[in-house]
Amino acid sequence: MTLQQLDIPRRNATCQQCLQKLANEEFYFSLLEESQRQDFCKCCWEQKNKPTASFWKTRPLKTQSQSNPLLIQKEARALAHLKEMLGSSDTLEEQFFLALFLARKKVLSFKEEITKYGTLYQLFEVVATAEILNVQKINMLTVDAAKVQIEIAKILNEKTCD
């Protein structure tokens, strides 16, 4: 069984209004209306009427180089598995916990919570690519944490043949 997925585009390279390039390390604002994303520089956003739709303020971060290649592989594997699992109702708990893990590792950046189709989603941005992932929010009090921990450990400790 699959869930309805929200298709949210990546960050635009330029401001929607003045067409100025959105520079790294500078704040910008993203507006989401009817699954259409618009990005604005700080100056244009301040001049804009405040929207009633979903929006967030963010700043693209420089990717931090990590000294341990095993951690990089583990995080890349976790992100790849999360992307594969999105849309499947069989792995909602693993999706949510992987997203939290990747946010803690600064691979993902939490943007906003939205409700679509009567379901609560959390929007995360992949720091390296500005891709937006939507993960269904889970009530962590109802989850068998030990079971989810075992499943995630299998994913993170998976060996690859190179």
What are the backbone angles phi and psi of residue 108, rounded to the nearest 5°?
-115, 155
Contacts with 156 (C-beta within 8 Å, 6 or more apart), sequence order: 74, 77, 78
Note whether 46 and 68 are same-domain residues. no
Note whether 67 and 143 are same-domain residues. yes
pTM of the model: 0.61
Paired strand residues for 31: 38, 55
Provide the strand spans (E) within 34-137.
Answer: 36-41, 54-58, 108-116, 119-126, 132-136
What's the pLDDT score for residue 68?
Answer: 52
What are the backbone angles phi and psi of residue 132, rounded to the nearest 5°?
-100, 130
Note whether 85 and 144 are same-domain residues. yes
From 82, 103, 107, select the one nearest 92 (Cα to Cα): 82
Is residue 2 domain-resident?
no
- pLDDT tens-digit profile, the chain (162 residues): 344 556 677 777 788 888 888 776 678 888 887 777 888 888 888 888 777 678 887 776 555 544 555 556 788 888 999 999 888 888 899 999 999 999 998 899 999 998 888 889 999 999 888 888 999 999 888 888 888 888 888 877 765 444
Note whether 99 and 83 are same-domain residues. yes
Number of domains in the chain: 2
**CA–CA distance, 77 with 158 (Å, rounded to integer):** 8
Is residue 162 domain-resident?
no
Domain that includes residue 102, residue range:
62-156
